[in-house]
Structure 1
Amino acid sequence: MPNSSLLSVDHLFVYGTLRRGSISPMAHWLATHASWTGAAQARGRLYALAGYPGFVPDPAAGWVQGDVFKIADDAPLFAGLDDYEECAAHNPEPHEYARVVIDVRMAEATIPAWTYVYRYSTDGVREIESGDFLDDER
């Protein structure tokens, strides 16, 4: 049975190709299916992968920059995003990402939000020291 506290989480934190300002077609898709709430930060490390980032939460690390979206109807939204992140039930294991709830800091408050966490080893992978994938891309 799902955790009822997770059912009430209605925000999504994105830190890479889904961010507002990204040229990714999926960023545009997200913007048409959810409402941008504002800029946010999460404690963790951001890694440069093959044209996209991997986020690993770490309460002792610096801040990763991102955006928060308000989710109106999570079933179709997460079906599309889980496919994009290749962590849907029909994708072969092991999944590169897992969708989890973390705390994110916005201008006025800290809120719980869904995000996609990188699950593979980061040994030898370049960390994005600034914590900002969009700045690192430029």
Structure 2
Amino acid sequence: MQRVCLNEPLLFVYGTLRPGCDDPMARWLRDAALHVGPAVAQGGLYRVAAYPGFVPGEAGDVAGDLFALADPGAVLAALDDYEECAAHFARPHEYRRERLTVRGENGPVEAWTYIYNRDVAGLERIESGDFLS
């Protein structure tokens, strides 16, 4: 694991932005931020389409990865556009960006993440909590 400056904001990703995905935005994120390592968030993970939605506060663990953001303003603005939750997108947004506590390799840390912002009734829950498994 690479050493991270504690002043750099962190981002928790759990779906198509993870290093194991060959999504163009995942490749962009690997170039734009430093991969810190695996992490786990408490909540439920649902299959929305070819991508997942994370709902915190539910029982269960969701596997993901942490990235350190040397330029958080630029990275988060690009990801807000990607997730269609920037201010210029029509509401209600499918996702919202929030900070939450996740468990990294060295204990709990605060990280930004994208939370599914719609009703999950009728969506398949990913019981393993790992979108890549």
| Alpha-carbon distance in structure 2 between the residues aligned to 1:10 and 1:79 | 14
Structure 2 counterpart of 1:65: 63
Amino acid at match of 1:127: R
Q: Distance in 2 between matches of 1:49 and 1:112?
A: 25
Give the count of matched residue pairs: 127
* Matches of 1:68 and 1:20, distance apart in 2: 10
TM value normalised by structure 2: 0.93
Match of 2:34, SS state, is strand
Instruction: State the 1:42 CA deviation.
Output: 0.2
Q: Normalized per residue, which structure has more helix?
A: 1
Tell me, yes or no, if the aligned pair for 2:10 and 2:69 is still in contact at 8 Å. Answer: yes
Which structure's residues are more often strand, by fraction? 2
Distance 2:51 2:36 in 1: 22
List alignment gaps of at least 5 residues for structure 1: 1-7
Match of 2:117 among 96, 116, 119: 119
Look up the match of 1:12: 11
2:69 and 2:105 map into 1 onto residues whose CA distance is 19
**Could you tell me how far 1:9 is from its partner in structure 2?**
6.6
2:89: which partner in 1?
A: 91
Sequence identity percentage = 53
Structure 2: 5+ residue stretches without partners:
1-6
Tell me, in whole angstroms, the C-alpha distance in 2 between the residues paired with 1:82 and 1:105. 23
The residue number in structure 1 matching 2:3 is none
Name the Cα RMSD after superposition.
1.1
Q: Any residues of structure 2 matched to 1:1-138 within 5 Å, and which?
A: 10-58=9-57, 61-135=59-133
Tell me, in whole angstroms, the C-alpha distance in 1 between the residues paired with 2:43 and 2:35: 22
